[in-house]
A and B are shown apart, each in its own frame.
Chain A
Amino acid sequence: MRRRRSTELTLTIAGPVILLLVWEVLSRTETINPLFWPPPSSLWETTKTLFLEKDLLGDIGISLYRIIAGFLVGTVPGIALGLVMGLFWPMRIFLMPLASAIYAVPKIAVLPLVIIMFGIGELSKIMIVAISIFFLVALNTMSGVLAIDTQFRDVARNLGASRWELFWTVALPGSLPAIFTGMRLSLGFALVVIVGTEFLAADKGIGFMIWQSYQTLRIQQMFVGLVITGIMGWALTLLLDLIEQVVVPWRTAGEEA
């Protein structure tokens, strides 16, 4: 068991390390153009400079703020709507075409509309994230409710559960795994949308920083932005995993003797 774990760890780290090594070698030998593909080792200095002399931390902070705020604004009503759609079939039938259609629209396409509605300030950035994940969370929550075995409802009713108790003790906990799946997908969406939004309509944030670096041909700086975006996504997913372990302990608990 322990051996398996150490092998897993090695393999996990090996992927990125090999990629970086190959990149480094190709770049240093000028097999690929170092102007566009600067060697990864050179990014370190750039990162330090960005943190110390430019406000990279501020860029990261504002992007994280937009993602998390938008995530909350989108997720909470999304879960609520999903539960309603899952529990009441007329609502499901009524809202389904709308939800599917809106869900299919590329979210960045509604940015102009969002700016018209919410202005060019922070609110529009938060709202574009919220809007893009709202239906994703709602539809996942709904399918989570629908996937709950009807026997659980029978058990609860047989033991005297009211409608309200049925909701709190069966529908909600039963759909939590699906809700978390929806949130995990949403996190990816949120990151894509916020970077895109910051490309187009922001004067701060990690997306803005990447776009500006590209326009001024500071390629190394651009790469730093990309790496940081990746790390942000990874860290947010990790955070969500930790929350899931607390909220949905039965799904994450391993086998016992």
Chain B
Amino acid sequence: MPSPYSMVNKRINTPTVMAYVKGTSQSSAHDSPPRQPALVKSRTVDSGARVVARNVGRRFTTASGSVDACVDIDLTVEPGSFCVVVGPSGCGKSTLLRMVAGLDHPTTGTLDVSRLDGRAPTNAMVFHGRTLFPWLTLQQNVAYGLKLSGMDRNARLARARELLGMVGLVDFQRAWPHQVSEGMRQRTSIARALAVNPDLLLMDEPFGALDEQIRYLLQEELLRIWERTGKTVIFVTHSIDEALILADKIVVMSAHPGTIREVIDVPFPRPRFMTEVRSDPAFADLFTTAWSILREEVETGGAFTEGTA
């Protein structure tokens, strides 16, 4: 598996990269010269959190009995790596993510999020669905986490503006969430999570509600952002395809109760471009491997029969 730290940007002149640079407007053009060395530094020095789960389980107790959302999760996500979790509906993917985020707690096992330098790690989550605050403009939404951290008004709005520039939405900073498209909202959510500069970025089906073309664009955008910032990412999705394009490591989960079936290493070189990944013969092989496991899970896990009943 190639190191995610490799920063050989030999493809700088390919059309894909150019389109990306153009798409992110003036701010990246201004910032890129000083940003490059800073990035290399942030990558060689440790950045990103490490996540270690040992025997993690979460049981929900309701009036009608108890349900195990997930059991026996053993997982290590290395700092700065991109981990994608795939699995059938109801396999506890979101529960796992919420526990990593600290919004929920395991009922068994231990879950440890740490930084190598011992400082307390920070995380930010990009939630599934419409989670921009409707009462804040796009800019205020992105600045929200900074406001909580006590950054002064001008500084946080400037930072929010910069991040909106990174996702190509500077012109929409004063719009309300309901006034822009789903794709724009999702990009804003990502910017909101990135604004607090978390060591760990947690993403719960962030592109689930988008059409395929927008998805492709955002996947590449996410890859570029991740390559520059060196955060640890845990990304939950239904899509094997998406997993193969993004991940260093794919965690395939089983349903009812959710547990890890298989961990697949994804060998494609970084920086990645989706056209190259898709045309790689290994892509088809890995897809087949992942799907054969998942298929079994979907069929035997009851999700399929329940879904069609």
Contact = CB atoms under 8 A, between A and B. Distances in A.
B179 A155 contact: no
B103 interface: yes
A255 interface: yes
Contacts of B131: 149, 151-152, 154-155
Interface in A109-164: 149, 151-152, 154-161
B167 interface: no
Contact of A169 (B98, B144, B176, B196): B144
A159 B179 contact: no
A160 B145 contact: yes
**Chain A interface, DSSP helix/strand/loop, else mixed:** helix
Interface in B114-145: 123-125, 127, 129-131, 133-136, 144-145
A94 B150 CA distance: 37
A149 B132 CA distance: 11
A250 B130 CA distance: 15
Residue from A155, A254, A256 with most neighbouring chain B CB atoms (10 Å): A155
Contact of A250 (B103, B129, B135): B135
B208 to A, nearest CB: 14
Interface stretch (A38-46, A100-108, A170-178, A194-202): A170-178
Contact of B133 (A173, A255, A256): A173
A174 B133 CA distance: 8
Nearest to B147: A169
A18 interface: no
Contacts of B214: none
B1 interface: no
B269 to A, nearest CB: 33
A157 B123 CA distance: 11
Contact of A253 (B98, B124, B145, B176): B176
A250 B134 CA distance: 7
Interface of B: 98, 101-103, 123-125, 127, 129-131, 133-136, 144-145, 147-149, 175-180, 192, 196
Given A161-B148, A253-B179, A256-B176, 7 more contacts: A154-B125, A157-B103, A159-B196, A173-B135, A248-B135, A250-B135, A254-B179
List 5 tightest A-B contacts by C-beta distance, closest first.
A159-B145, A256-B179, A173-B135, A250-B176, A160-B148
30 contacts: A149-B130, A149-B131, A151-B129, A151-B131, A152-B131, A152-B133, A154-B127, A154-B131, A155-B131, A155-B133, A156-B144, A157-B103, A159-B124, A159-B192, A160-B145, A160-B196, A161-B148, A169-B147, A169-B148, A170-B133, A173-B133, A173-B136, A174-B133, A176-B135, A249-B176, A250-B134, A250-B176, A255-B178, A256-B175, A256-B180
